[in-house]
Chains A and B, each alone.
Chain A
Amino acid sequence: MENDLPRRREAEGLSQGELAEVVGVTRQTINAIERDRYDPSLDLAFKLAAHFECHIEDIFQPEETD
């Protein structure tokens, strides 16, 4: 799953740790999501979307396959 979490986070001037605190996970989890190494649960995706005041699909997009 691709995402533009780093761009949105940096646009708000948040560190990974600060965003992690806001949505109630660890900094390592935010880092893993940003590096496309972990797909968040639906619950966490909703929390991130709520924080950035957008829809989940605005942040996360399925990887395009050939």
Chain B
Amino acid sequence: MLDTLTPGTDESGQARRVYYRVVYAIFAIAIVGLLAGMVTGRELLGTIIYCGGAWIGSGITFLAPKLTDVPLQDERDTELYNRASGLTLGVLFVLGLSVIPAIYVLEAAGRIDPPPEVTGAILLASGLFLLWGVAYGIVKRR
């Protein structure tokens, strides 16, 4: 019995569904627009569509919960996001810790010559961890 959701009143549920559908649709259009631009050789148009979608979608995600009394996101959503983010960072951290020093050592020893993509990925991961550290420090002090 408890495994099923009981039907609600359900204006807030409807609003929540519409909210998520709109946000997901905007991001989907943005990504499809970017890919279509790359495939058809209209990179600038694709980029404009992507940037527009990303900004509009992010704006709605940021503003909508503040502009309505309907709980579009609640404490459980926040906890799920936090757990998923923690898991993602944990996986990245373990992978980074096990791979990055080895790449540095092997490169210094002249055993490997990592392609620019690997160097870029290492820099990206390092930047991500740095950003996380700064964000953690800010959140901890507020």
- Contact surface of A with B, Cβ cutoff 8 Å: 6, 15-18, 20-21, 24-29, 31-32, 34-35, 38, 40-41, 43-44
Contact = CB atoms under 8 A, between A and B. Distances in A.
Contacts, number: 60
B140 interface: no
A26 B9 CA distance: 12
Given A6-B2, A34-B2, A35-B3, A27 B10 contact: yes
A40 B78 CA distance: 12
B2 A21 contact: no
Given A25-B75, A31-B5, 18 more contacts: A6-B1, A15-B6, A16-B6, A17-B7, A17-B10, A17-B12, A20-B12, A20-B71, A24-B74, A26-B76, A26-B77, A27-B5, A27-B12, A28-B76, A29-B76, A35-B2, A35-B3, A40-B75
A26 B74 contact: yes
Contact of B74 (A18, A29, A34, A35): A29
A34 B10 CA distance: 19
B6 A44 contact: no
8 interchain residue pairs of minimum CB distance: A17-B8, A25-B74, A29-B76, A15-B6, A17-B10, A16-B6, A15-B8, A27-B8
B79 interface: yes
B82 to A, nearest CB: 13
A31 B77 CA distance: 13
A32 B77 CA distance: 11
A16 B8 contact: yes
Nearest to A39: B79
A53 B108 CA distance: 69
Given A17-B8, A40-B75, A26 B13 contact: yes
